Structure 1
Amino acid sequence: MAPTLKALATSLFAGYAAARQCQTLSIPVDISSRQGVFKKVPVETNLDASAFATRFNEFQYNYTAELFTGFQTLQKSIKISAQYCTPDGGSNGIVQVLSHGIGFDKTYWDLSYDDYKYSYVNVATASGYSTLAIDRFGIGNSTHGDPFNEIQAQAEVEALNEVTKKLRVGSISEISCSYEKVVHVGHSFGSVQTFWLSALYPNNTNGVVLTGYSNAAEFFPYIVAGWNLHSARLNQPFRFGNASATGVQALAQQYGVQGDIVPGLTAILNKIGVDVDTEEVRQYVASTEINDLINGYNHTIFQYNYPSGYFAHSALTALQYAFLFPDQFDVGLAVESEKTKQPVTAGEIMTIGNAPKVSQFTGPAFVITGQYDVPFCGGNCYGQAQNITAANIPAGVKTAFPAASAFEAYIQPNTGHGLNFHYNATAGYQIIQDFLGRNGLST
């Protein structure tokens, strides 16, 4: 059987890594955000982090309300780190603004693993779009802040909106043009914020794409529990903590924690009579918290020094539960993702549920969610969630877009929550570009 045009196009995307021009930017914006003030609780140790998750998930109890003390207006000048890419052949005049979810940063959209085989940016630029992938406010190389009372969902939405306004008027110095049409693409928490922006500022977006998303709220406790939260500073000490801890660094060097410890560990085990090879030991290391300790004690390009109140998922096994469907992803990519993972704040966890329920956005809206998505479908997107009467859980999002010019929901087969990490990622990327093209958002 001859391959379809779509299949041929999808197969070519691996060769598009060089067919684009990219640069990293730091975009200054001023935000004003009306948001909560919370009492701070101890969250320095891993036991503290686990206790926070236990209280937050307590059945028929509202821990957020217990810690809430009132409202404030946060006014702050911040910088948003972003990667801006344009096609070599020139842009179609439309930019896609890409917002990552919890546990990742802007590199989620442009994964370098296996020669950028899983890059969303490659597919979007090959289709003629420019892209601007941001580190959300508080995360990665964007401005950090107080994890309880500054880095909350509303403030991040305001930052996203301000970046969008600058794109439209051409006031980002490193970008030599303005964009009349801006499409917002999110993943997970980034999708929550993308929807939130469309509700608060419906005239500031021309198209909405929500990946790894639904409007079913009952599954969020699954993911908070499944993360097995650690204090980020302790999970990867030198990446997330304080690199000036020279005493700890000296101990790491002395006992060989830095670098590849697998060959040495294999030799020790063999010497004491444990018959294992390096691949067995490597699998063990990769799937336990030892992997994060090694990553955390190695020198990395970036060192973030996150304060207490920034949490991280514990290890690769927690990542698999939350984001990946077994046997449908490259384990090597998942191992690499632990080296670049990012935290979540107490404030984000407590405010993610404050998003508006309905958006009066009048442009096209698209939802694409993995068949086995845990945080937004409980692991079965063909199931029936509370208060959703649609054919499936993602299709229920249509009620949140009553004024949309077009709405479609698609379930990506054999895929978990983190769509970009699965073997069939690029097929899903092409479905997104096709939707935009059908609805007036292409050349």
Structure 2
Amino acid sequence: MGVGTTFLRLASLTALAQGLQLDTTFVLSQATRGLSAAGKATCLRGKIKVSAAANNTILLIKSPAGQPDLTQTTVDMAMAGVNYATMVTGGPTQVSGTYQLYVELCVPADPAAALKVKTLQFLNHGGTLDHTYWDFAPGYSYVDAAAAAGHATFNYDRLGYGRSDHPDPNQVVQAALHREIAHQMIGVLRKATVWGKRIKSVVGVGHSAGSALVMAIVGKYPADFDALILTGISASIEGIAIAQIAFNLIPAALDPSGRFNGLDTGYLTQGAVAQDFQFPFYRFPDFDPKIFRKQFETRQITTFGELLTFGSVIAPQPAYTGPVDVVLGQQDYIFCQANCSYPMNQAEIFVNALFPGQGSKSTFLQPNSGHLIAQHYTAGRGFAHSLQFLKRNGL
């Protein structure tokens, strides 16, 4: 249902989301209230403006002139003996601006559960996805699962995605600026209250590129998160180049759906062929065809700015000492070439290599699941594992 006023301060919207209150740093526009996919959470939705500055990387590339140009670039990125990212990387460059982002704040719909909320989960979607990944459909909603466990969630479209702003896809939409934008929002969330009680803990949750972003955040701001849940990511990179080719990337503006008309040709999406989507993301027959079709038809974008800078932020994080959970689909092709147990558990390899000084570690290989673990029949098992991990760590 709509909210009558166009611009409302978050502090004045307490009643709309079961007592959720933030400070007045952000102004929420186009505010609405609604329920999560299965009604377990009450959600406040709208847009906020965030000012941020970052040291991005000069990329010595231009947006593709057309499909042949983009296809050749995809081949170049997979060329043997060549590190394409290094080849097209210039020096650092300062970027800054004020950007409008679509956000969702959700708390348990049960008032009794909302009164007890102490943990908020900060959710970060993957590439060619958007905020809907976390609240996709009944039975496929991490937002619902978190609310049922008594947690609040903050879900948003990353810059360049979905309902958020779409600035220069090559020089602006990069990992460094994503990190600074997220850090600004986390600072506000740490001051949030639910029914007058301060949020005690913020958990960084990511999927795929979203997990890389969470790692980028704790690499510079280790105090931002009290625990991490990293899904759809590993230290194995052999499958990434093949998966990128399988994406059959096209300039999003050329997508026949017309959803991306007017975007710079540096915004990319998967080709309009279902196989291009199934190969890297799903394991047949372990998903509902209706869920697959819905995600395929609502697929989002990616950019060379992201593809060429996210890899640089995946590095050991010795400064972070909070609990870490890593979840992979057992048959994730992108990060395991469809076998996350070979030659050893890839989730365990990743968490031990990237978080060497951390004591409380947990991993889970979600059975019968490809890369999009939240959209397979076994999604609930992955959700339950991560929420139990938080419970064991007092969150």
Shorter chain as denominator, the TM-score bin is: 0.7 to 0.9
**Cα shift at 1:20:** 2.1
Provide the rounded CA distance (Å) in 2 between the counterparts of 1:93 and 1:321: 39
Asked whether the 8 Å contact 1:16–1:126 carries over to 2, the reply is: no
The aligned counterpart of 2:67 is 46
Task: Report the count of equivalent residues.
Answer: 353
Provide the rounded CA distance (Å) in 1 between the counterparts of 2:246 and 2:156: 26
Provide the rounded CA distance (Å) in 1 between the counterparts of 2:169 and 2:223: 30
1:376-391 paired onto structure 2 within 5 Å? 376-384=335-343, 391=344
**Root-mean-square deviation (CA), in Å?**
2.0
Matched, 1:155 2:177: yes
Which amino acid is 1:440 matched to? Answer: G
Matched, 1:349 2:268: no
The aligned counterpart of 1:372 is 331
Percent of residue pairs bearing the same amino acid type: 29
Deviations 1:251-283 (A, max 9, x none): xxxxxxxxxxxxxxxxxxxxxxxxxxxxxxxxx
Asked whether the 8 Å contact 2:121–2:152 carries over to 1, the reply is: yes
The aligned counterpart of 2:10 is none
Q: Which has the higher helix share?
A: 1
Of 223, 247, 251, which aligns to 1:227?
247
When Rg is computed on C-alpha atoms for both structures, the one with the higher figure is 1
Which amino acid is 1:53 matched to? Answer: T
Provide the rounded CA distance (Å) in 1 between the counterparts of 2:174 and 2:195: 28
Of 110, 124, 138, which aligns to 1:99?
124
1:323-342 paired onto structure 2 within 5 Å? 323-342=281-300
Provide the rounded CA distance (Å) in 1 between the counterparts of 2:282 and 2:182: 27
**Cα shift at 1:160:** 1.4
Query: What secondary structure sits across from 1:366 in the alignment?
Result: strand
Asked whether the 8 Å contact 1:363–1:406 carries over to 2, the reply is: yes
The aligned counterpart of 1:29 is 50
**Cα shift at 1:44:** 4.0
Provide the rounded CA distance (Å) in 2 between the counterparts of 1:92 and 1:68: 44
1:255-294 paired onto structure 2 within 5 Å? none
**Cα shift at 1:401:** 1.0
Provide the rounded CA distance (Å) in 2 between the counterparts of 1:350 and 1:177: 41
Provide the rounded CA distance (Å) in 2 between the counterparts of 1:317 and 1:401: 36
Query: What secondary structure sits across from 2:275 in the alignment?
Result: helix
Asked whether the 8 Å contact 2:54–2:96 carries over to 1, the reply is: yes
Structure 1's 16 and 104: CA in aligned 2 closer, same or farther, altered over 3 A? closer
Matched, 1:421 2:380: no
Which amino acid is 1:372 matched to? Answer: Q
The aligned counterpart of 2:277 is 319
**Cα shift at 1:319:** 1.1
Query: What secondary structure sits across from 1:117 in the alignment?
Result: coil
Which amino acid is 1:357 matched to? Answer: A
Query: What secondary structure sits across from 2:334 in the alignment?
Result: coil
1:134-283 paired onto structure 2 within 5 Å? 134-170=156-192, 178-242=198-262
TM-score w.r.t. structure 2 length? 0.85
Provide the rounded CA distance (Å) in 1 between the counterparts of 2:127 and 2:62: 21
The aligned counterpart of 1:393 is 346
Asked whether the 8 Å contact 2:59–2:170 carries over to 1, the reply is: yes
Greater RCO structure (CA 8 Å; 6+ sep): 1
**Cα shift at 1:170:** 3.7
Provide the rounded CA distance (Å) in 2 between the counterparts of 1:146 and 1:198: 26
Which amino acid is 1:394 matched to? Answer: A
Deviations 1:37-89 (A, max 9, x none): 11233514222221111111111112223322321011121122111110023
Segments of 5+ residues of structure 1 without an aligned counterpart are: 1-14, 243-305, 385-390
Provide the rounded CA distance (Å) in 1 between the counterparts of 2:229 and 2:185: 18
**Cα shift at 1:94:** 0.8
Provide the rounded CA distance (Å) in 1 between the counterparts of 2:181 and 2:89: 23
Query: What secondary structure sits across from 1:238 in the alignment?
Result: coil
Asked whether the 8 Å contact 2:212–2:314 carries over to 1, the reply is: no
Which amino acid is 2:323 matched to? Answer: P
Asked whether the 8 Å contact 1:364–1:406 carries over to 2, the reply is: yes
Query: What secondary structure sits across from 1:240 in the alignment?
Result: coil
The aligned counterpart of 2:83 is 62
Structure 1's 16 and 340: CA in aligned 2 closer, same or farther, altered over 3 A? closer
Structure 1's 319 and 178: CA in aligned 2 closer, same or farther, altered over 3 A? farther
TM-score w.r.t. structure 1 length? 0.76
The aligned counterpart of 1:387 is none
**Cα shift at 1:177:** 6.8
Query: What secondary structure sits across from 1:375 in the alignment?
Result: helix
Query: What secondary structure sits across from 1:47 in the alignment?
Result: helix
Provide the rounded CA distance (Å) in 1 between the counterparts of 2:92 and 2:257: 33
Which amino acid is 2:169 matched to? Answer: P
